[in-house]
Amino acid sequence: MLEDTIAAIATPLGEGGIAIIRISGKNAVTVGDSIFKPLSGAINHLANAKSHTIHYGHIHLNKQRLDEVMVTVMREPATFTREDIIEINCHGGIQATKAVLDAVLKAGARLAVSGEFTKRAFLHGRIDLTQAEAVSDLINARTSLALSAANEQLDGKLSQRINQLRDNTMHVLAHVEAHIDFPDEDIEPDTMDGLIQRLEKAKSLIDQLLATANDGQLIRRGIRVAIIGKPNAGKSSLLNQLLGHDRAIVSNIAGTTRDTISEEAQIRGIKVVFVDTAGLQETDDQIEQEGVKRSRDSLNQADLVLYVLDASEPMTADSESSLADLSSHKHIVVLNKSDLPAVLSPTKMQDCKTVSVSSINGEGIESLKDAIQASVWDGEITSEMLEVMINSRHQEALNRAKTSLETSIYQLRSGAELDLVSVDLRISTNAIGEIVGKTTTENLLDSIFSTFCIGK
């Protein structure tokens, strides 16, 4: 498939000012030349164009003019895929973009599959697998922290750590296999101590990387926050304040919200999906009963619960019971309606994190946002934290590597046969290599790149 010249729309589908059709492969320039008629006067054919130049003209198919375009010529190896690349900037209407893409495909290119451009960049050695995944993370970043973490990974910060780790295990593996080839020469005690120390250092580095797994996944996927409480406690008004716009219907009539409402926001750089629920009250109304059921489902799926209480009313037995049920969930008690005289006694919530707010005038909302962040990270999020945050694939590979590494250390200390030591060392080294793509399978590559959008 690397011999094919591929093409795809590299910009989002839909109406827009400009769309980009990307062509990559050994025949990219030939394909572009067959449909592009330059009008700038600088060149007659794209084949004569210098690398990294842009040219004005028209796209034609069967002598019919399709669109007025700008065409960029980029010659290998100084391109994203390390192949010749042609990018056609055409008008962004659905029909215009489709017409230009159809012309490119009829000229000899094949429609690219998901992630095929980035996969070629990996296969041609321009980026490793962690950097390829960072491309997808960069595209999908919904918060400033996710964007920063993706850029650090794309810059190769994680790759440096992984390659250092692999070099350590490779060094010990090479030493062990050398002694297997020359069995009459025992490993000197000082040398053995040095090998074990090197593996212990590698294990320590693995532990450091594994410690970032939860934070890395949190930055990429964000957290889910359920807003629960009695009817008319101000849950929907609180959601609107946290979002900064009106999303939920607000009314003085209790039970206005009959279903769960989900909305995404960025809170202190963290992606947060807020779920406004129908409340947890007992009811004979069948529709409300379904709403309460969905509220309880949202509660069980949430990473954090905001339990909203009306501070202008006394605590009820139902509220006390609901608060007790939250002991197994990470939660914040939101004392709403701080703009009214306080009636609710805080003594019932001495062991709870509480924040007073007014969902009418916004008082206390910033403090609540700080509390939401603190429930995720206790302290400042530093650039060093963002540099090496691993994802679930990296975590699984590192866990396998750690298990085999611990076995190797034990075997070396107990004087086991070096043949056995080398087996576990090789398993560990290969697992580490999977992260950056130095040991991989076609199934693994398909699994990674199939999650990419077409055109990237």
Indicate the DSSP class of residue 232: T
CA-to-CA distance for 419 and 123, rounded, in angstroms? 33
pLDDT of residue 100: 96
Residue 347 has pLDDT above 80, yes or no: no
Average pLDDT rounded to a whole number, residues 67-75: 96
CA neighbor of 126 nearest in space, from 77, 73, 87, 75: 77
Burial of 146 (0-12, 13-18, 19+ CB in 10 A): buried
Q: Provide the sign of the torsion angle of the four alpha carbons 64, 66, 71, 75, taken in this order.
A: negative
∠ at Cα 108 (105, 109), nearest 5°? 55
Q: Would you call 40 exposed, middle or buried from its count of C-beta atoms within 10 A (0-12, 13-18, 19+)?
A: exposed
β-pairing, 270-276 vs 53-61, is unpaired
pLDDT: which is higher, 358 or 285: 358
Checking if the pLDDT of 249 tops 60, the result is no
What pLDDT is stored for residue 301 in this prediction? 77
Helical H segments across 14-140, by residue range:
28-35, 94-106, 116-123, 129-140
Residues 402-421 have pLDDT tens digits of 999 999 999 999 988 888 99
* CATH superfamily membership of 6-112: Probable tRNA modification gtpase trme; domain 1 (3.30.1360.120)
Look at residue 455 in the predicted model and tell me its pLDDT: 85
Compute the average pLDDT of residues 420-440.
92
- Residue type for position 331: H
Q: What is the mean pLDDT of residues 349-358?
A: 83
CA distance 125 to 128: 7
Give, in degrees to the nearest 5, the angle at Cα 53 between 51 and 57.
125
> Mean pLDDT, the chain, as a whole number?
86
| pLDDT attached to residue 247 | 57
Least confident of 32-46, 306-320, 335-349, 407-421: 335-349
Q: Are 86 and 28 in contact (CB under 8 A)?
A: yes
Statement: residue 235 has pLDDT above 70: yes
Q: Where are the domains of the chain?
A: 6-112, 131-212+389-449, 227-376
Where do the DSSP E strands lie in 171-230?
A: 223-229
Neighbours of 329 (CB within 10 A): 15
Q: What is the pLDDT of residue 12?
A: 87
pLDDT in the model for residue 257: 45
Tokens of 430: 């290969």
Q: Indicate whether 250 pLDDT > 50.
A: no
Q: Which of 320, 372, 360 is nearest to 336 (CA)?
A: 360
**Residue reference for tokens 């069980």:** 300
CA dist 27 and 43 (Å) reads: 19
**Main-chain phi, psi angles of 135, to 5 degrees:** -60, -45
* pLDDT tier, 251 (very low <50, low <70, confident <90, very high otherwise): very low
Tell me which of 349-353, 365-369, 444-448 is least confident: 349-353
**pLDDT > 80? residue 292:** no
The CA distance from 86 to 337, in Å, is: 60
pLDDT band at 374 (very low <50, low <70, confident <90, very high): confident
Q: Is the pLDDT reported for residue 253 higher than 70? A: no
Sequence letter at residue 33: D
Alpha-carbon gap, residue 328 to 396, rounded angstroms? 28
* DSSP three-state, residue 10: coil
Query: Is 211's pLDDT higher than 70?
Result: yes
Structural Rg of the chain based on CA atoms: 29
Cis omega before residue 183 (within 30°)?
no
pLDDT at 221: 82
Name the residue with tokens 């990219």: 28
The pLDDT value recorded for residue 126 is 94
Within 23-84, where are the H helices?
Answer: 28-35
CB atoms within 10 A of CB 18: 12
Given phi > 0 = left and psi -120 to 50 = alpha, else beta, which region is 244? left
Q: What is the pLDDT of residues 259-278, one digit of tens each?
A: 567 888 888 888 898 888 76
Adjacent-strand bridge partners of 127: none
**Domain 227-376: CATH architecture, name and number where available:** 3-Layer(aba) Sandwich (3.40)
Tell me which amino acid residue 194 is: G
Angle made by CA atoms 171, 174, 176, in degrees to the nearest 5: 110
Residues 6+ apart with CB under 8 A from 240: 246, 247, 248, 250, 359
Q: How confident is the model at residue 258 (pLDDT cuts 50, 70, 90)?
A: very low
**What does the alpha-carbon distance between residue 192 and residue 9 come to, in Å, rounded to a whole number?**
57
* pLDDT of the residue at 255: 47
pLDDT over 80 at 95, yes or no: yes
Is the pLDDT reported for residue 122 higher than 90? yes
Mean predicted confidence (pLDDT) in 228-253:
73
The answer to whether domain 131-212+389-449 has CATH 1.20.120.430 is yes
**3-class SS of residue 315:** coil
% of residues, the chain, pLDDT over 70:
88
CA geometry: angle 151, 153, 158, nearest 5 deg: 155
Please say whether the beta carbons of 336 and 308 come within 8 A. yes
CB atoms within 10 A of CB 393: 16
